[in-house]
């Protein structure tokens, strides 16, 4: 109990001590402030939960997009490798054809020379 003059005390000599009205008012104010803080924290918590859900959705969208891009990259890489192999094969075929062309041209020239020689011999004998 506070050391106040007897006239200031709010109890009778044999009754239980009473809480001063100022203390009750202080407790009520503290309770109100506590309730306000509690509701503020709850609303802030709800806002944070909503933000968390939004970020989680965005994260899942980014993960899906990343997986799609990785899949497309692998497909494009596979197509690129196939195209490179086909290009190499085509270059090899082209080089082989060029070599065969040179051989055929040489064979054609030699056969043409033989034909020309035979034609001249036939003209001389005729």
Residue 96 has a pLDDT of 96
Prediction pTM value: 0.49
pLDDT surpassing 50 at residue 1:
no
CA 88 to chain centre: 35
Q: From CA 90, how far away is CA 39, in angstroms rounded?
A: 75
Domain coordinates in residue numbering, the chain: 21-125
Do residues 40 and 34 make contact, with C-beta atoms less than 8 angstroms apart?
Answer: no
Tokens standing for residue 46? 């709800």
Tell me the pLDDT tens digit for each residue of 10-65.
555 566 678 899 999 999 999 999 999 999 999 999 999 999 999 999 999 999 99
What's the pLDDT tens digit per position in 13-24?
Answer: 566 678 899 999
C-alpha pair distances (Å), 33 with each of 1, 39, 44 = 26, 10, 16
Q: What is the mean pLDDT of residues 66-81?
A: 97
Tell me, what's the pLDDT at 123? 83
Which residues, in sequence order, are CB contacts of 2 under 8 Å at separation 6+?
20
């Amino acid at each position: 109990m506070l050391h106040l003059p007897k006239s200031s005390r709010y109890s009778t000599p044999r009754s239980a001590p009473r809480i001063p009205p100022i203390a009750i008012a202080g407790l009520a104010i503290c309770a109100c402030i506590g309730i306000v803080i509690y509701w503020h924290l709850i609303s802030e918590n709800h806002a944070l939960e909503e933000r968390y859900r939004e970020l989680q959705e965005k994260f899942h969208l980014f993960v899906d997009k990343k997986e799609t891009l990785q899949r497309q990259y692998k497909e494009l890489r596979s197509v690129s490798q196939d195209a490179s192999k086909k290009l190499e094969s085509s270059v090899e075929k082209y080089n082989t054809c060029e070599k065969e062309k040179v051989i055929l041209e040489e064979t054609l020239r030699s056969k043409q020379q033989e034909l020309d020689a035979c034609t001249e011999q036939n003209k001389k004998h005729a």
